[in-house]
Amino acid sequence: MNVLVFGASGTAGGAVLQACLNTPVVEDVRVIVRRPLGRMEAKLREFVHKNYLEYGAVAEAFRSVDACLFCLGVSVTQVSKEEFVKISHDYAIAAAQMLSADSPGAAFHYISGAGTRADSGTFWSKVKGQTENELIELVEADCWRPAFIDAEPSASLPKMYALLRPALRLLKPFRSMYVAGEDLGRAMLEATRENLRRRVIENTEIRELAERFGA
């Protein structure tokens, strides 16, 4: 399996990347990043790129892939509403369009988050819910709604996450409320392997898919 990962320097994306690197199921891992990750794994290829609205300069990254794992995201508390829409919606749509052109039939996986709803009165939830709907129609995307993701915090994550992480790990027995970061990646790979499409996948099912991948 060949995969393309967005958001590899982030908390969720970094864990998903590690899951891809750790399994022999994935032979080729490509990442589109603004700055080099500084990693040297043999099957990892980095494409440094600045403009996430246009991907012509890195079209090679999209060719002959089986799945795009779109893990790019930002907290609505960290940016303006306009920037949040650009990152959460516009970047994802542009990536999906490029994937459809260069790898027709490849799976597109979009991380939104628990509580996402297109009809929500909450800004972030509505934006991500509408993005889910558009991606499902555009590329038959799978849209992932994890609850607490237990993964190494990225530098850009609010410091409160790192402080709360030990306490939030107590949620592990609750399948609807906790997922290990690498299990999120494993679940995406299993969904690709099972050819699941046009799905909204909540936390409990994420854990089920990860378990099937490891079986």
pLDDT at 47: 97
pLDDT at 158: 62
Average pLDDT over every residue of 42-67: 97
Q: Given 3.90.480.20, 3.40.50.720, 3.30.365.10, 3.20.20.70, which CATH number is that of 2-214?
A: 3.40.50.720
Contact 191, 209 (CB under 8 A): yes
pLDDT at 153: 66
pLDDT at 123: 96
Contacts of 131 (CB under 8 A, 6+ apart): 88, 89, 92, 93, 110, 112
Angle between helices 91-102 and 123-139 (to 10 degrees): 10
Average pLDDT over every residue of 27-45: 95
Please tell me the pTM assigned to this model: 0.93
pLDDT at 171: 80
pLDDT at 179: 97
pLDDT at 77: 84
pLDDT at 170 over 80: no
pLDDT at 152: 77
Per the model's pLDDT, the better-predicted residue between 30 and 165 turns out to be: 30
Which range has the worst mean pLDDT, 22-31, 78-87, 105-114, 159-168?
159-168
Instruction: Estimate to the nearest angstrom the gap between the alpha carbon of 212 and the chain centroid.
Output: 19
SS3 (DSSP) at 25? coil
pLDDT at 154 over 70: no
pLDDT at 20: 98
pLDDT at 44: 97
pLDDT at 156: 62
Average pLDDT over every residue of 6-23: 96
Q: By C-alpha distance, which of 1, 207, 197 is closest to 107?
A: 197
Average pLDDT over every residue of 170-194: 94
Domain ranges of the chain: 2-214
